[in-house]
Amino acid sequence: MKLIIAILQDKDAGRAVTEINRRGFRATKLASTGGFLREGNTTILVGVEEHDVEQVLAVLRRTSSERHETLTPQTPAHSGEPYVPFPVEVTVGGATVFVVDVDRYEKF
């Protein structure tokens, strides 16, 4: 048995947990802040058999990896001058994952 402790951005945590549940695993969300990632993150705990670790990591990699998104700012309303909007690239997401050995696992 392994315990996966993953720190995700809040905006990715919902989808990550849904996908993890869909594969039959359970995830517990802990409220967390700052540190490993930009503000607004969630720590999730997932207990899995060793042979299922890779599958959960794949879900986390797909739902929560750091990626670049392109934002095109809105045309400003207050200006009479010609406005040429150009896209801005922002970095979102990112996950830090620790897999820890479980000595003993009980379900009551």
Q: Report the partner that residue 47 touches, choosing among Ni ion, a second copy, none (CB closer than 5 to 8 A by kind).
A: a second copy
Q: Which of residues 61-100 bind Ni ion (CB under 5 A)?
A: none
Q: Report the partner that residue 43 touches, choosing among Ni ion, a second copy, none (CB closer than 5 to 8 A by kind).
A: a second copy
Interaction of residue 10 with Ni ion, rule CB under 5 A: no
Residue nearest to Ni ion (CB): 52
Query: Distance (Å, rounded) from C-alpha 94 to C-alpha 63?
Result: 9
Q: How far is the CB of 89 from a second copy (least distance, A)?
A: 19
99 half-sphere exposure, CB direction, 13 A CA radius: 13
The residues of the shown chain that bind a second copy, judged by CB under 8 A, are: 1-3, 5, 7, 17, 21, 26-36, 41, 43-45, 47, 53, 57, 60-61, 64-66, 93-108
Of all helices (H) and strands (E), which one includes residue 53? helix 53-64
71 half-sphere exposure, CB direction, 13 A CA radius: 9
Q: Are the C-beta atoms of 3 and 99 separated by less than 8 Å?
A: yes
Query: Distance (Å, rounded) from C-alpha 76 to C-alpha 64?
Result: 32
Q: Which is nearer to Ni ion, 49 or 69 (CB)?
A: 49
